[in-house]
A and B are shown apart, each in its own frame.
Chain A
Amino acid sequence: MNNLIILPIIIPIIVGMIMVIFRKNIKLQRFLSVLSTIAISISTLLLITQIHTKGIQTLHLGGWEAPFGVSMVADMFSAILILVTSIVSLCCLLFAFHSIGKEREANYFYPLFLFLITGVNGSFITGDIFNLFVCFEVMLVSSYVLISLGGTRNQLSESIKYILINIISSFLFLVAIAFLYAMTGTLNFAHLSIRVAEVGQEGLMTTVAILFLIVFSLKAGLFLFFWLPGSYSAPPTAISAIFAALLTKVGIYAIIRVFTLVFYHEPEVTHLFIGILAAVTMLLGAIGAVAFWDIKRILTYNVIVGVGFILAGVASYTTEGMTGSLFYLIHDMVVKALIFLLGGTIIHLTGTSKLKEISGLIRLHPGLGWMFFIAALSLSGIPPLSGFLGKIFITEGTFERGYLWLGGVGLFTSLLVLYSIMKIFMNVFWGYTDLTEENEKGTTKGLMLPIGILTIITIALGLGAEGIHDYVDIAVEGLMNPSLYIEAVLGGNLGH
């Protein structure tokens, strides 16, 4: 029992509800939102040190023991993700202060942002599959409102698609939960793991596993990503950055959790299937990224490539592959937020997202140009930046498992990603400078601080990989060895 675990969920939800009362007081809302993300970071840091010394921490709400009550479980994997989430959301908030506009601020932008973080943190920390659904819905309903907040024509038509897709996938999620409950009679992850191991993962169980995979793929943008490019380019920059950094990652988290803890008995079927989907996702995403000449489109297709690459490591189901996936997941959350914020700043300055109408920005904004260059190298995994180590480990893992095609596709798409992002860099920052200080559409005042923080983090993650390797190893050990999780949650009363 450890009450620290609940803090990442209740801090944002309580602060968000307080903010709803003070609708007019924007200054207070800004202050509270920054304060709460910092508070979550500090509490998660404490949690990480506790997990490091004492192992996986659990909290049984209301004192009901594990298979019967609602339990919250914080292992190293989820704690690291919550820490990265709060840092990234802090940067997106700082960016939003100067770019989101008075209208949206007055219409509950900050409360909705915090409710979104509540849902994300809740999904990371929950210990049973139905609460995963509930936290998904908390996150999704906030994202529905955030994506349509402001109500421009493009936002409205894209949000309808987005909501419809997500409602249908939520129903499929419930169907899968119903079948799983009928077969195992439990919903707790640890208990499910035991029950599935007892009955054996026969054909029907594998079918349910594939149904879960389809649901989470829809949320994560793995193969079923047709809704993603449109809806992620519709809202303002701060919102699309937080979407790119967090929403798909929650789907990836769910895939990793379910397929390492519950359905890990038939990796020849399920994990191979994930591998094929990952390869197709990477290829299609990279083709999309290369094809377009619009900053927002190129960036959203890069999100899709990232998803495929992380899950290639999961598909290999080796210690190396998992380590790589975790490193790359952390890197991807930071660098996707960074590159979206950079792209948004360029659009903010020039007033257009078409590459062919922009050129020579580096003369007026050298800082922005160099940070974009660093972000671009980091995104495609050039050493010594943060993407490199994850890329090495994932490729090693896939080769070790014998999936040469998967590793090969990953390396090939890295080149395409590098090309697509360098296309933005060369077109936007090089060439003849036709923009002057006077005819810029906006200023970079206040926008450079969050971008700078994220750039420093991506460099630090690359150079200081040795420092976090210890923690990532503990997380991977927990993922590859489900008995640790089961032991921590169920303790004495093992599965009866």
Chain B
Amino acid sequence: METLMSILVGILFAIGVYLILTKTLLRIILGTSILGHGVNLLIITMGGLKKGGPPLLGIKNLTYADSLPQALLLTAIVINFATTALFLVLSYRAYKVLGTDDTEQLRGIKNE
């Protein structure tokens, strides 16, 4: 299972990096979002994908799932969500003011 997850993480990273390297701003934002999902899966894989009960008192299991990576993941998802939202709003504003979403044309824009 871990191997499969690693391959999936690799694919997501590849797609994310490819999208970030394109010129359109919207595709770049989608790329960061996909990269973020890859990172989240990496965290959960690195904690170990054990089959076990939830780590609660009163549940009699031989093995327990590690709850820490899931806590990290929740925080990481929230932060990823916030930065993506901010980035989308900013890119919309930049498109309105600068009149382009091509990063090639965004270079060298100075104050008028």
Contacts and interface: CB of A to CB of B under 8 A. Distances in A.
Interface of A: 130, 134, 137, 141, 144-145, 148, 151-154, 156-157, 159-160, 163-164, 167-168, 170-171, 174-175, 177-179, 181-182, 187
Contact of A160 (B25, B43, B48, B69): B25
Contacts, number: 89
Given A137-B79, A153-B111, A156-B94, A163 B86 contact: yes
A29 to B, nearest CB: 22
29 contacts: A134-B75, A144-B90, A145-B86, A148-B93, A151-B97, A153-B98, A153-B110, A154-B109, A156-B90, A156-B93, A157-B94, A160-B25, A160-B90, A160-B103, A160-B106, A163-B87, A164-B28, A167-B87, A171-B36, A171-B39, A174-B39, A174-B42, A175-B42, A178-B43, A178-B45, A178-B46, A181-B43, A181-B47, A181-B72
B83 interface: yes
Given A157-B106, A160-B91, A187 B39 contact: no
Given A153-B97, A171-B35, 16 more contacts: A134-B75, A141-B82, A141-B86, A157-B106, A157-B109, A160-B91, A163-B83, A168-B32, A170-B79, A171-B32, A171-B39, A174-B76, A178-B45, A181-B72, A182-B47, A182-B48
Given A130-B75, A157-B106, A157-B109, A174 B43 contact: yes
Contacts of B68: 181, 187
B101 to A, nearest CB: 10
A167 B36 CA distance: 9
B28 A168 contact: no
Across the A-B interface, the 9 shortest Cβ-Cβ residue pairs = A182-B46, A178-B46, A157-B109, A156-B94, A178-B43, A154-B111, A174-B39, A137-B79, A157-B106
A154 B110 contact: yes
B87 to A, nearest CB: 6
Contacts of B32: 164, 167-168, 171
Contacts of A163: 83, 86-87, 90
Contacts of B109: 153-154, 157
Interface of B: 20, 25, 28, 32, 35-36, 39, 42-43, 45-48, 68-69, 72, 75-76, 79, 82-83, 86-87, 90-91, 93-94, 97-98, 103, 106-107, 109-112
Nearest to B41: A178
Given A152-B111, A153-B109, A134 B25 contact: no
Contacts of B25: 160
A141 B80 CA distance: 11
A164 B98 CA distance: 18
A167 B46 contact: no
Contacts of B43: 174, 177-178, 181
B83 A181 contact: no
A156 B101 CA distance: 12
Nearest to A68: B68
